[in-house]
Every structure is written in structure tokens, then in C-alpha cells.
A and B are shown apart, each in its own frame.
Chain A
């Protein structure tokens, strides 16, 4: 049982490049989330998906887009990366009606 799997684990981008962060969960959870974690700040929600086919903005959505491809997969896209998007990105999932979230191992992204 892998839980929540994120790829890649590390990435370096040049300003203006685009990339997609991948996330998949094998726990049959309805809800999925993308967070970013920066030094001195708490985890901040970028986007979430309460169920397959729906997505909603979180606290810091600017510069990002998401796709809930199916129940298992939730991807995060940076169309034109900026140095301010240097961060550690976490994907998480939770079952319907539960407050317990399961996190992936994170993607450490550096934009130069």
C-alpha cells in the first residue's frame, strides 16, 4: 500500500519554464489537496478537489493550475515558473467525511 505518491521528488526550473507535479493515491479517497511549505510559514493550501471532477482554489492559487484526472490522480501545473514558487510542495488526500489527511513525501522545487 503506497499511500500518496508524488513525482518528481526534486526539480530545478529556470524562470519561465513550465512543469507538472504529479500526485496519485491508492486509498480510494475522495478529497485531494496541494499545499506548499515555506520556511517560517505554515503549510498553505494551493488548490483542492473535494471529489472527482471538481477543483477549487485555496489560499494561494495564483500561478498554478490543477487537474483532477480521475479519482486517483491530482496534478499541479506551473505554467511559467517564478522564483517565488521555490518551495516544497505536498499532495494530500482524505476520505469523505474524515478530518485525517494523508500526505505524500513532497516535491522540492527550486526556480532559478
Chain B
């Protein structure tokens, strides 16, 4: 069975303090790994899709990387507006499986 585990559950950073969020996964056949951002009371917003180990994608202060067992979302010099819950999801042969998310709070 496909599984996704995100860690930590919550992360509190000072503005400018870089860190990484982890998404560990097991899947029978990976067709894609997604990162979404979700603000309170809103639907998830697409950030990245990664397809194969070694792939990296960047958007502003965010950089997503992928290995055969996990993906990392690196946040460089975060700002308060980066505060949100970040969701990881993987697409296997049969379905998309979402993780429970990491709630990030960036303090000014």
C-alpha cells in the first residue's frame, strides 16, 4: 500500500531562518510527487511536481528535491507570508495519496 509520512508535524521558524520539510514515501510505482501549500480556510495550492530521483524544482524561496525514498521542501530565508501548511502527495499506479502536512509558522 502506498504511504506518505510528513515530518515534522509543525515547525516554528524565525524570519530568515532556513529549514527543510520532509516527506517520506513508499510506493509500488511512482508516477509523480507533488507539493501543495494550504492556507487556513482555503484549498491547497499547487507548488511542484517531481517525477524522478535527483530532480529539483525551485520557486522563489522554495526548493523541492526528490530521492527514491523521500522528498524535501527547502525553505530559504522564510518570510511570515510563507506561513502555511505544506502538503506532500504521491501518485502511484492506482491513486494519489496525500500526507497530513507540516504546519509552518514563520515569526517576524
A residues near B (Cβ < 8 Å) are 4, 40-45, 58-59, 90, 92, 99-106
Q: Which residue of B lies closest to A100 (CB)?
A: B46
Q: With A43-B98, A58-B95, A102-B46 given, name 16 new contacts (CB 8 A).
A: A4-B43, A41-B100, A42-B87, A42-B99, A42-B101, A43-B87, A43-B89, A45-B95, A90-B43, A99-B32, A99-B34, A99-B91, A100-B46, A103-B44, A105-B42, A105-B43
Chain B binding site: helix, strand, loop or mixed by DSSP? strand
How many B residues touch the partner, as a band? Answer: 20 to 34
Chain A binding site: helix, strand, loop or mixed by DSSP? loop
A90–B97 touching, CB < 8 Å:
no
Q: Which of B43, B45, B46, B100 sits near A42, CB closer than 8 Å? A: B100
